[in-house]
Amino acid sequence: MKGVRMSESPDLSRRAAATLPVVVVGAGPVGLAAAAELLERGVEPLVLERGHGAGAAVAQWRHVRLFSQWDELTAPAARRLLDARGWRHPAPDGYPTGGEWVEQYLRPLAGALGQRVRYGAEVVGVARRGRDRVVDSGRDSEPLTVHVRARDGAQQRIIARAVIDASGTWGSANPLGGDGLPALGERAAADRIGYRVPDLDDAQVRARYAGRHVAVVGSGHSALTALVALVGLAAVEPGTRISWVLRRGAVGAVFGGGDADQLPARGALGRRARQAAEDGHVTVVPGFRTDAVEPDADGRLTLVSSGGQRIEAVDEVVVLTGFRPDLSWLSEVRLALDPVLQAPLALAPLIDPNVHSCGTVYPHGAKELEHPEPGVFLAGMKSYGRAPTFLALTGYEQVRSIAADIAGDRAAAERVELTLPETGVCGGAGLFDEPAAEVDGGCAGPATAEVLTLSAAPASG
Ligand SMILES: Cc1cc2nc3c(=O)[nH]c(=O)nc-3n(C[C@H](O)[C@H](O)[C@H](O)COP(=O)(O)OP(=O)(O)OC[C@H]3O[C@@H](n4cnc5c(N)ncnc54)[C@H](O)[C@@H]3O)c2cc1C
């Protein structure tokens, strides 16, 4: 029929699609590793990064020292790509800061990928070409469209053979509210609430917390890192005091597996935090589910729990309660996500903190990460949804397998090439969140309610 272009046969479309790039969302450690894996297999990657440079999210926690050493933080295919360019490998057993991870590895890696990495390119949508999520036909033959917004607001569409979403979760921190939604008054008190580990080497940040009553909320590694840093500040800045606010009823396993942790630096962080708590530098407030933040007459804050307990005269709140994936721009593709964790269905049972024991997850790849939508994968930190125990090593193995799958090498996609370290802690966040009868012995805080109405007197004493 004149003027009407008939559609291609599915086979033709499939062959044409094989020449399209695989779009990788995010130039973080896992996105860049994915690009290196694809390139090695002769598949053309295009990495879209909304930030100004490689590792834009990691750069925002550049002052935090990682508990993994260099050889656990570089991906095999990325190392091969870098080695071919005479990369100076950092000492494998050193522990970099986030900033060093970016400078010494992620930037050179992005440099090696050259024009295949585009900055200032935010992915705002992914869809099947010409089909919304309801349409069945063509889902395995039509390519994907990736909707991109440039820094100047210009919109672009890229046609992709497959999409690996390695956009992380750093941009969507969990709120202070114990029910997962912002606490009453949380937004209004935004100038006194931070969601990142404070960089106390920065004079401005230091001045914000020195001599103040700081409430640290959360129980993961970031919270422990913040506690240890703030205790250091309290030692030299009189009047600094710290309340450590925990949803779970007992402190016990928060400190991790110590010597039993197969990542020694992670175990050591737990031991230092335990020491800080036992030395009485920190007032521990367990079993506290924040419901509201109220300003008081002195311009300070009172945290109120859903049980009516109160933590008064707080100057600053540091909320480190984890992250969640931003799924908003994936609404037109068919994902199969676990209703609890928002992680791929087959992966979720391996990482669920409500049932998962000992912080272990066996390595997994394309099979566990696939969705009803062909060619769409969530990888890296984002693939864990709300589960807290992601390690870069896990992400590197995920993208090795995904790249093999996209390249059609099923055997390599299914092979497991990694053993992951155990935390030495059995039981996870979900389990420990249950109210427990008592606080782990030795920690500084008296049981909940009494501590809560204490005034501005230093917690350490
Ligand atoms: C403080 C901290 C300490 C950690 N320490 C360790 C450790 O010691 N060992 C370990 O193994 N793991 C550690 N992790 C966990 C994990 O390895 C890191 O978070 C890692 O950065 C995750 O890599 P990623 O590539 O999945 O995500 P990210 O590093 O978050 O990278 C995602 C990238 O995607 C970009 N992006 C986001 N949305 C879009 C979009 N819509 N369009 C385009 N680009 C987008 C972001 O700007 C970012 O650059 C730590 C995490 C944190 C937060």
Instruction: Give the CATH number, domain containing residue 340.
Output: 3.50.50.60
SS3 302: strand
Confirm or reject: Cβ of 399 under 6 Å from ligand 1: no
SS3 209: helix
Instruction: Determine the average pLDDT of the residues in 68-81.
Output: 96
320-361 pLDDT, tens digit per residue, is: 999 999 999 999 999 999 999 999 999 998 888 776 645 567
**100, 34, 81: which is closest to 365 by C-alpha?**
34
Cα(223) to centroid(ligand 1), Å:
17
Per-residue burial over 391-424, b = 16 or more CB atoms within 10 Å of its CB, e = otherwise: bbbbbbbbbbbbbbbbbeeeebbeeeebebbbbb
SS3 364: coil
In angstroms, the CA 274 to CA 326 distance is: 33
SS3 content of the chain, % helix, strand, coil (to 5): 30, 20, 50
pLDDT for residue 275 is more than 90: no
276 and 375 fall within a common domain: no
pLDDT for residue 153 is more than 90: yes
300 and 330 fall within a common domain: no
366 and 290 fall within a common domain: no
Confirm or reject: Cβ of 31 under 6 Å from ligand 1: yes
In testing the pocket of ligand 1, which one of 50, 60, 155 has its CB within 8 Å of the most ligand atoms?
A: 50
Confirm or reject: Cβ of 49 under 6 Å from ligand 1: yes
Total number of domains in the chain: 2
CB 365 within 8 Å of CB 398: yes
The two beta strands, 213-217 and 316-319, are parallel
288 and 355 fall within a common domain: no
Helix or strand holding residue 432 (H, E)? helix 429-432
Q: What is the pLDDT of residue 265?
A: 67
Burial (Cβ within 10 Å: 0-12, 13-18, ≥19) of residue 280 = middle
358 and 305 fall within a common domain: no
The two beta strands, 121-128 and 117-118, are unpaired
Cα(282) to centroid(ligand 1), Å:
29
Relative to the CA of 121, which ligand 1 atom is closest?
43
Confirm or reject: Cβ of 387 under 6 Å from ligand 1: no
Tokens 């100057």 locate to 315
Q: Which residue's CA is minimally distant from atom 3 of ligand 1?
A: 66
The answer to whether residue 435 sits within a structural domain is no
Transcribe 190-207 into DSSP letters: GGGEE-S---TTSHHHHH
Show the 3-state SS of 148-159: EEECCCCEEEEE
Confirm or reject: Cβ of 325 under 6 Å from ligand 1: no
154 and 265 fall within a common domain: no
Relative to the CA of 329, which ligand 1 atom is closest?
41
Q: Which residue's CA is minimally distant from atom 19 of ligand 1?
A: 381
pLDDT for residue 274 is more than 90: no
The two beta strands, 301-305 and 290-295, are antiparallel
Cα(166) to centroid(ligand 1), Å:
8
Provide the domain limits for residue 223.
190-319
Average model confidence (pLDDT) across the chain: 86
Confirm or reject: Cβ of 323 under 6 Å from ligand 1: no
Q: What is the pLDDT of residue 85?
A: 95
Q: What is the pLDDT of residue 5?
A: 43
Helix or strand holding residue 128 (H, E)? strand 121-128
358 and 303 fall within a common domain: no
CA distances, 201 to each of 41, 194, 229 (Å): 43, 16, 10
Q: Which amino acid is at 207?
A: A
Relative to the CA of 33, which ligand 1 atom is closest?
25
Q: Which residue's CA is minimally distant from atom 39 of ligand 1?
A: 167
Instruction: Determine the average pLDDT of the residues in 352-372.
Output: 78
Confirm or reject: Cβ of 198 under 6 Å from ligand 1: no
In angstroms, the CA 312 to CA 316 distance is: 11
385-422 pLDDT, tens digit per residue, is: 999 889 999 999 999 999 999 999 999 999 877 766 66
329 and 315 fall within a common domain: no
Cα(169) to centroid(ligand 1), Å:
7
The answer to whether residue 461 sits within a structural domain is no
In angstroms, the CA 382 to CA 199 distance is: 25
Cα(381) to centroid(ligand 1), Å:
6
